[in-house]
Structure 1
């Protein structure tokens, strides 16, 4: 049968072309569920695995077998705009100025003793066993390793795989207002399956291991507050609690997380707090998926924001020499669609 008779399979996670004459009940490996993106994690509703690396998520093999299908799955419904009536009353509460004298930013930092969850300890023990049994050759590429270039998906099957061309996307994936696209391409879509199957825009060589250099790990973090506490959460996995630290002074929070399984990577966060805290009444908890710092407010009330804007910080010599202030705030992808 000629290639013109082949059809495109639209089952999520498949992306192959098939011959209807040879389409069997187990020809297609795909994901019957929907993709989800939540708290920096990516995964499929039909699987139990979650990922922080987008390329690893894209290369996740399907969990179900069935026949190929050339019927496109329905697109998700677009959110409905709700008109807010002009008569709605919005209550604006004034920010009460602190009655306490603000301490110095250079006050001595106190090393907090964290509460380590059993789930985190179990994951560390499992990782230690895996590391001991793994091949220690730093140049060895395990068979089945997926190319790290976005949109490629090629598996390493031996040295001959390096002779194949890597067709990939040079940019990063963007999800904005229901649209899905690559920053390096003009093509945008609302269909996630079409986004996954979009052919790369550049050719090159396969990347089996991430390039070494800056070993900083990008962790998402946020906060919420009550009348008495501010809770800061850093979402991270596979960090070492014994080599990770959280330090406090009355108006400063310093977090250092160490990732031994990510080439000894690190995450640093150093901010000047908007309000004043009680260090002795504050707590640090380390879980398998996040670090949670519960800061006790020195006086009740609402903080207008968590941190003092950088432009208003007192630039001490110690801060300038020891902190990389340009890399400590969460990174948010902002895309102007009019320029695309």
Structure 2
């Protein structure tokens, strides 16, 4: 071993681990993590810079966030909490973890308004469908007459064949409903008794304009799988070449609805499930990736879900009609004029 190698010392700063010459140790030579490693919920990271990953090798390669001098002094271990010896003889009762969902939280109605989750779209997915989007745009734009109104409910934009046509379409994804004198949209539930006020209600969702009526697409099957961690349920739908701008994921605390559009086959994948447990809509998210759609649902209460769907669905089941007298028929018809679908407005 040469004399210069004998002088080299090992740096003990976390995340550095390099050897250095103590006579040539300048500020900024050492790039390290002043914080502590954190392992939580399958994630590995550093407390000082909040960088996280799931792979241990990737965790070891996370570059330090602080520059300073190298040092051969080991950092002090974090202090352990003091032990209260006066409680040494205290009997600690250990209760088993909850294996199934404890329905302690009130369960919202199945038909509560759903929120359209804003997805994080992978650039690789956009690159994957880029050629398809150009091909369809070229073929459809020539068919749209200037002045054609957008077909989405609540949108009042008209086709101009300019860049204005690419602006977001603010519309109502639900249906208009009349109920007990009130008028409202199923998607946002802003109720009013005045019909003109109802018609002027601004949309609650954004997307792309629909200049031509869509023909009903055929449905296809995609593989769906799910797993869970302590705080989340992750639903994965494995698929390729779907159109993010014409797909959506809607959620309320107990219901998940997925609608994916595949441009090449002019087909759709649809999923509508009543969830086994209650979720926090605000802390849930969607990632649209080249090979799958990943929906991360935040559990509203601790516990393990035995299944993704509830064992006792509350969906309304229509019963076959029975023979009625004329007066009973009139009462039944009056009761049925409870909600009016104005989809064609």
- TM-score bracket relative to the smaller structure: 0.3 to 0.5
TM-score by length of 1: 0.40
TM-score by length of 2: 0.40
Larger Rg: 2
